[in-house]
Amino acid sequence: MDVLRFPRSLPRRARLRLEQVLSRMPSLEGRPVRVRFRPALSAWRGRLLSGKPRGTSVHAASFLRRRSIVFDAELLEHPGELARIFVHELFHLAWLRLGNPRRRSFEDLVAAEIRRHARGELGWSAERRKLPLAAVDIQGRSRRWREYVCESFCDTAAWLYAGVGRHPEFTLATSLRKRRRRWFRDVWALSSISI
């Protein structure tokens, strides 16, 4: 927990839920990450807004350079969703520090799934980026492809560590989930997660 700086005002129930999530994960290492909650988040013209009537509603946003994650305060009323989205956002920081060989290894895993015509994903963030992909995106490793792989990584981590057994967004086949679980276990078997 030393790596994460939660607000003092975080309700006890939410703090306990997030501590449970962290106890299921390999340990975290890195400079502190500030966690904040704001009401009615939306994204508009590349900015995160709170309580403004414009933009697209979002649950959270990660600011990698600032080492900060902002969550919509409404998530405090939904502990399961808070846990899932918390892990997803945390793993955006892990993706950044994962290193090219490991990122490419996960990319290869997901590309193999697509070659087998696998449908589904482990979260809507990845699913909505997967649907419009074309073969040229995968072969050329386009920005669209790389963004999908990152979201797939983060959604997989959320599925694996959040403690949410079932969710309508978990649509990836069980056999492919097992492969992803094994990949995560192998990558962090002997080390902590750098964020």
d(CA 152, CA 173): 14
d(CA 9, CA 36): 10
d(CA 159, CA 85): 10
Q: Is residue 97 over pLDDT 70?
A: yes
Tokens of 184: 């995560």
- Residue 169 near residue 156, CB atoms below 8 Å: no
Angle ∠(30,33,159) on CA atoms, nearest 5: 85
Average pLDDT for 58-74: 95
Enclosing H/E stretch for 36: strand 33-38
Average pLDDT for 170-185: 97
CA distances to 51, 109, 162, 163 from 180, in Å: 37, 8, 15, 16
pLDDT band at 1 (very low <50, low <70, confident <90, very high): low
CA distances to 30, 178, 189 from 33, in Å: 8, 30, 23
Q: Which ranges of the chain would DSSP assign to H, the alpha helix?
A: 12-23, 79-97, 100-115, 124-130, 135-140, 143-161, 174-187
Average pLDDT for 94-123: 96
Per DSSP, the three-state class of 186 is helix
Supply the mean pLDDT for the chain: 95
Average pLDDT for 56-68: 95
pLDDT of the residue at 25: 94
Percent of the chain exceeding pLDDT 90 equals 92
- Residue 52 near residue 42, CB atoms below 8 Å: yes
pLDDT band at 190 (very low <50, low <70, confident <90, very high): confident
Average pLDDT for 78-96: 96
pLDDT of the residue at 2: 81
pLDDT band at 109 (very low <50, low <70, confident <90, very high): very high
Domains of the chain from N-terminus onward: 4-97 (3.30.2010), 100-194 (no CATH)
Label each residue of 86-108 as H, E or C. HHHHHHHHHHHHCCHHHHHHHHH
pLDDT of the residue at 77: 94
Summarised one tens digit per residue, pLDDT across range 124-170 is: 999 999 999 999 999 999 999 999 999 999 999 999 999 999 999 99
pLDDT of the residue at 189: 84
